[in-house]
Structure 1
Amino acid sequence: MSTIVSEYEYRGRRYVSLGITAPGEPQSLHPVAEGRLLAALLSPDAPAAVAALTAETEPVTVTAGDPALQALPPLLPTTGPSLVSGFLGTHKSKADAIVGHDGQPPLPKWFFKGLGSWLRLPGQPLVVPAEPVILVEEPEVVLVFVNDEAGAPRYLGYTFGNDLCDIGLHRIDPGYTPSGKLCDTGLATHLFLGEPPRSATGRTVIERDGQPVWEGKFDCGADALFFQVSDLVDRLFSFPALRRPGLVNYVLTGADRSSFHDGFRIADGDRIVIDVASHGAVLANTVRFGGGASAF
């Protein structure tokens, strides 16, 4: 079983929680000074270092639903840079669209998704433009890296995300894909230490007015990918801009089938529940269509 770490802020202090707390159960938190968790994760034996770190202090027990408890994205820096990006068309289920050019093997297609501060946690709304064309939910494995002082990427673990995007723009013209990706990204609070999972399976349910209106299975593990995870990582860090010292990278590795492929259309106010049953992680977020804005 992987070591699972989550970070929280509670009454002005940072805390770490181990494992996944069942809904409604009290949360056991270990006070940890900022920067010490990252140092533990960068050690040669991260699980042992995390266990030693949390054993240094007495845990604080917080009741479920305490409004002072705020979950944080794993390892999101308070002052340093962080980036959310990913790859599209990565799965074997989409192999017919994965082609090379001029006799060369296909390259993974990278996209920019947003800044780390744009990440949204379970329970928070996912805001999209006021008039999206066709939205699609995308359950994905998310790899977490931090660059060391020399700019070398260090893999810390993985979590799960919902790469909500406007696939309708992509279908009109692939040149619109970058703007179609500028929807909020959902992220689980848990960081799983260890190698990316070979299999990560579960079920997505979309609710409307409190009732399920679509559901389907997904598999976003490494064995479902057309590309090797190492190929995705090598492609990502071939760009010097992504190797800046101190940068935290959240890397979405792609999704397979979704509600869009069944002809379903996500509406304003729909609630998306992604249950990664194989790993005990659940992301539940309500979609909100945003209002227009003008700088003039």
Structure 2
Amino acid sequence: MSVSPLPVLFEATYRSARHVGFGRPGPGARQTLYRVQDGQVAAAFVATDGSEAALRAALAEGAETVTVTVGDPEVRLLPPLLPTATGNALLSGFMGTHKKKWGGETAPLGAGFTPPKWFFKGFGDWVRLPGETLNVPARPVALIEEPEVALVYVNDEDGTPHYAGYTFGNDLCDIGLHRENPGYNPYCKLCDTALTPWLFLGAPPRTASGRVTIVRDGATAWEGTFDCGADDLYYRVREMAEHLFSFPAVRRPGLVNYVLLGADEASFHDGFRIADGDRIGIDVKSHGVTFENQVRYVSPAPLPGSAATVSTA
């Protein structure tokens, strides 16, 4: 795997303590972690300009350090800036944003902004990391993997959002249910989403491209390419973000927002159907990021009693 030269920050727990690290050295390399408190890294993005130099000065200087080997099982990576003590984070995103879905066009300038559809995916602690299982309802109509850019924001004490950077994710959902009835889209999104722990510092990427590989019973069942950078979108990222943050509900003080920018066409559009147990591997070749998650159909235990007998009085 090639490693992107772009500045990267990540957080992890090591022996029950929270740490921050910079960069992404290869497997087996040694790396220094800096001890931080829950919320300290998010606060640094509010207090500084968010550059690597400023963040290193705020978080690394004078901090207790530990040197670990990349891949150490005692190091558990975390979703970017996730406030583990409070769970004060939201995961949401935009739909139908790609040029492919608009005949290859870009939204005209100066014509007034018509926002894309938006969805709420879940709370921040619902996010799954690479290697973790993505649970979906037991009887989906037709699942789709969605490799996407996820922007990360943290609100200050007044509720003003501060952009921190971006990462990548797989917004797994039941597109078949959505196509049966667009009004079912909130149900369609009740599938786990994976985000990578690497927070890329800097503006949202103009280009981000890669390849999806779906493995079933040890063999490749489907593979294809994707593009999910800003240049591939019909909408302009700045306008989407400004519109979203015009709503007070996402401007609550201290809230971390993960905002998915939308996905390219994927396996579903090629006639493939994701099955229980499939492994979805996403290789963001432009950024040297690879991650894989297994899909698991989950049938929860039935509720006690019959729904038909529940009183509505």
Report how far residue 63 of structure 1 moved: 3.3
> Percentage identity across aligned positions?
58
1:122-201 pair list within 5 angstroms: 122-201=130-209
Q: Which residue of 1 aligns with 2:83?
A: 77
Q: Which residue of 1 aligns with 2:309?
A: none
State the alpha-carbon separation in 1 of the partners of residues 124 and 280 from structure 2.
21
Bigger mean CA deviation after superposition, 268-277 or 63-72: 63-72
SS of the equivalent of 1:269 reads coil
Residues 1:208 and 1:25: Cα distance change in structure 2 (over 3 Å): farther
Report how far residue 104 of structure 1 moved: 7.7
Residues 1:173 and 1:222: Cα distance change in structure 2 (over 3 Å): same
State the alpha-carbon separation in 1 of the partners of residues 102 and 288 from structure 2.
29
Q: Which residue of 2 aligns with 1:47?
A: 52
Residue identity matched to 1:44: D
SS of the equivalent of 1:132 reads coil
- 1:62-99 Cα shifts (integer Å, max 9, x gaps): 3354332211101000233110000010000111599x
2:97–2:262 Cα contact (<8 Å) kept = yes
Within the alignment, does 1:284 sit opposite 2:284 as a pair? no
Q: CA RMSD in A?
A: 2.1
Report how far residue 50 of structure 1 moved: 2.1
Residues 1:203 and 1:97: Cα distance change in structure 2 (over 3 Å): closer
Q: Which residue of 1 aligns with 2:227?
A: 219
1:1-296 pair list within 5 angstroms: 1-42=5-46, 43-52=48-57, 53-57=59-63, 59-80=65-86, 81-95=88-102, 106-296=114-304
1:134–1:168 Cα contact (<8 Å) kept = yes
Residues 1:270 and 1:28: Cα distance change in structure 2 (over 3 Å): farther
- 1:138-178 Cα shifts (integer Å, max 9, x gaps): 00000001111111111111100100000000110001111
Q: TM-score, normalised by structure 2?
A: 0.88
Residue identity matched to 2:245: F
Residue identity matched to 1:280: G
State the alpha-carbon separation in 2 of the partners of residues 32 and 59 from structure 1.
10
Gap regions ≥5 residues in structure 2:
305-313
State the alpha-carbon separation in 1 of the partners of residues 32 and 193 from structure 2.
27
2:9–2:22 Cα contact (<8 Å) kept = yes
State the alpha-carbon separation in 2 of the partners of residues 169 and 133 from structure 1.
6
1:10–1:68 Cα contact (<8 Å) kept = yes
Residue identity matched to 2:49: P
State the alpha-carbon separation in 1 of the partners of residues 253 and 104 from structure 2.
35
- 1:10-64 Cα shifts (integer Å, max 9, x gaps): 1111111211232344443222233332232220253112222324346423335
State the alpha-carbon separation in 2 of the partners of residues 85 and 209 from structure 1.
32
State the alpha-carbon separation in 1 of the partners of residues 244 and 104 from structure 2.
20
Residue identity matched to 2:20: V
2:89–2:124 Cα contact (<8 Å) kept = yes
Residues 1:84 and 1:217: Cα distance change in structure 2 (over 3 Å): same
State the alpha-carbon separation in 2 of the partners of residues 49 and 204 from structure 1.
35
